[in-house]
Amino acid sequence: MFLFPVCSPFLTSPSCLSVFPPPEMKGKNPWNTPTTIIITVIGIIAIVALVTVAVLQNRHLPQKYKYGIVLDAGSSHTSVYIYKLCQIYTVGISSYASAPWKAGESLRACMQDVEQQVPKKRHRQTPLYLGATAGMRLLKYNSSMSDGVLQAVEEALQKFPFSYQGARILSGQEEGAFGWVTVNYLDDRLSQVCGLETTGALDLGGASTQISFVSDKYNGSESPSNSVNFRLYGNDYNLYTHSFLCYGKDQALLMTQSVPEMLNDPCFNPGYTAIKNYSKIYDSPCLSGWKPQKIPTHFTHNGTGNFQQCQRIVKSIFNFTHCKYSQCSFNGIFQPSLQGQFGAFSAYYFVMSFLNLTDTTMPLEAVKAKLAHYCSTPWNQIKQQHPEVNEKYLAGYCFSGTYILTLLMEGYNFTSEEYSNIKFIKKIKDSDAGWTLGYMLNLTNMIPAEAPDSPLLPYSGYVSLVTIMAILLFILFILCLCPLWTRCSKQPEIV
Ligand SMILES: Nc1ncnc2c1ncn2[C@@H]1O[C@H](COP(=O)(O)OP(=O)(O)OP(=O)(O)O)[C@@H](O)[C@H]1O
């Protein structure tokens, strides 16, 4: 009769019994029995599998799209964004209204460049969008013209090997809302479980300007046309947004120049002089109805460089006289009380960074004094100091700086204290602030409405825990075999 060793509770199956060596195996190493070897190999495979699953299972899945292309067809130029920035300047597509085929042509060279930048094997999965903004919105006043331009653009883009998703004119509301999404997405403000306070977005283009922010005092009931609702990562946002068509900096400049006596212009540096075409001003739909009966074909535009006078003229293009709501910004448009921080981008940044005025902690009076000094600097001196800057922009900085301050302080009602809540930004984490990223994230469903089920542990914690469990299992396994091995190596007692 044999006295069998007691098996560990972990090994109570018949196979457990079979690992015990018969007495004639006395002196033999029990690890060498085929069953022991098989169990050991299976144990090791199980542990390796457990750790492998831990490593692979919880890893972030690769995104569906590696690249996405959005063409921002603005009033002043077209930019191509390949996820992050790849910007190639052309003229705004709306300027090809009289020869639409040229609009398609204008994109060809830059799109060929894009083709080189996206790896060939990714071409077919790369979505391509074109969004046109205020320049095309203005052209829509004559719908057949804007249709012709869009069609020409579509035909050109369809010839490229990408997954073409369409060309369309964004509404002002979309432009504002997607700009807000971009800023808050890049700032990681949307994916937070408790929902961080969001940042408002201020966008100044050539033909329109947008203001978008979340205000506790606005639920969309007053002026519903300014309300956009989002559900992002499980948080609900009720966004206030408004786009002012014609209040981009190029169209605003035309509006100030429409006044005939503005031939001597305080918004341009003293000594600046240029012969300009009146029809260029009055061709803009923003000035339709303003055209005097008799105007000369040309006028001489002379700068006189006076900030205070410029401010008065700029202010005259805003209408503050009527408001049917509880409160308005300008032109009778509802605006709730400003709230939180604001990111100001596009021309806000171009202009304020040139003027060295991006530091909003600087007292407003000091900002105005610096701008007044810039405006009064003779044009020749300005040109000498900045030979590298495009003259078209250089001549406009006095006007643009004055326009920005007037729009913010008088138009949107930022107080001197609230001015420091504005940050003039070009990029956030290497990506351009603007509507394009928000537009693409929305169209590719890359921002889920609901928060993804968050893992209980971070990835590294999860892997460590499974590894520790695997090691413990292995130790238990050895412990289970140990008594067997010890007893088996003893001489069996014969009763
Ligand atoms: N370096 C610069 N300095 C000054 N102004 C600039 C500079 N670069 C671009 N701009 C001007 O800034 C304005 C805004 O440019 P942006 O590309 O954001 O507008 P857009 O998309 O063409 O306009 P919109 O959105 O109104 O259609 C334009 O008037 C443009 O001419």
Residue 184's closest CA among 232, 229, 224?
Answer: 232
CA 168 to ligand 1 center in whole angstroms:
20
386 located within any domain: yes
CA 20 to ligand 1 center in whole angstroms:
84
Q: Is the CB of 249 under 6 A from ligand 1?
A: yes
Q: Is the CB of 75 under 6 A from ligand 1?
A: yes
Residue 26: pLDDT over 60: no
Q: Is the CB of 248 under 6 A from ligand 1?
A: yes
Q: Residue 330 and residue 449: Cα distance in Å, rounded?
A: 34
CA 38 to ligand 1 center in whole angstroms:
72
Q: Which of 70, 72, 76, 398 to mutate to test the pocket of ligand 1 (most atoms within 8 A of CB)?
A: 76
Residue 61, pLDDT score: 40
Residues marked as catalytic: 175
Dihedral angle over CA of 357, 262, 207, 352, nearest 10: 0
Asked if residues 422 and 183 have their Cβ atoms less than 8 Å apart, the reply is no
CA 351 to ligand 1 center in whole angstroms:
10
Q: Is the CB of 77 under 6 A from ligand 1?
A: yes
391 located within any domain: yes
Q: Is the CB of 242 under 6 A from ligand 1?
A: no
pLDDT digit string, tens, across residues 198-256? 999 999 999 999 999 999 999 999 999 999 998 888 888 999 999 999 999 999 999 99
66 located within any domain: no
pLDDT digit string, tens, across residues 193-206? 666 799 999 999 99
Binding residues for ATP: 206-210
Nearest CA to ligand 1 atom 1: 350
Mean pLDDT of 430-454: 80
Q: Is the CB of 206 under 6 A from ligand 1?
A: yes
Q: Which of 139, 174, 350 to mutate to test the pocket of ligand 1 (most atoms within 8 A of CB)?
A: 350
Residue 88, pLDDT score: 42
Which atom of ligand 1 is closest in space to residue 92's alpha carbon?
22
Residue 382 is part of which domain span?
A: 249-427
293 located within any domain: yes
Q: Which of 81, 106, 346 to mutate to test the pocket of ligand 1 (most atoms within 8 A of CB)?
A: 346
Residue 24, pLDDT score: 42
Beta bridge partners of 163: 127
DSSP code at position 323: -
368 located within any domain: yes
DSSP 44-74: HHHHHHHHHHHHHHTSPPPPS-S--EEEEE-
Q: What's the chain's average pLDDT?
A: 84
122 located within any domain: no
Collect all residues with Cβ–Cβ distance below 8 Å to 247 and sequence separation of at least 6.
208, 209, 317, 407, 411
Q: Which range (13-27, 292-306, 466-480) has the least confidence?
A: 13-27
Mean pLDDT of 402-426: 97
398 located within any domain: yes
Which atom of ligand 1 is closest in space to residue 76's alpha carbon?
22
pLDDT digit string, tens, across residues 355-387? 999 999 999 999 999 999 999 999 999 999 999
Task: Give the domain CATH number at 404.
Answer: 3.30.420.150
Q: Residue 19 and residue 448: Cα distance in Å, rounded?
A: 55
**Total domain count for the chain?**
1
pLDDT digit string, tens, across residues 78-131? 888 875 435 445 578 888 888 888 898 888 888 998 999 899 998 998 999 999
Residue 28, pLDDT score: 53
DSSP code at position 408: I
DSSP code at position 187: T
Q: Is the CB of 73 under 6 A from ligand 1?
A: no
Q: Kindly list the distances between the CA atom of residue 119 and the CA atoms of 67, 81, 346, 441, in Å, as whole numbers in the listed order.
A: 9, 15, 29, 21
404 located within any domain: yes
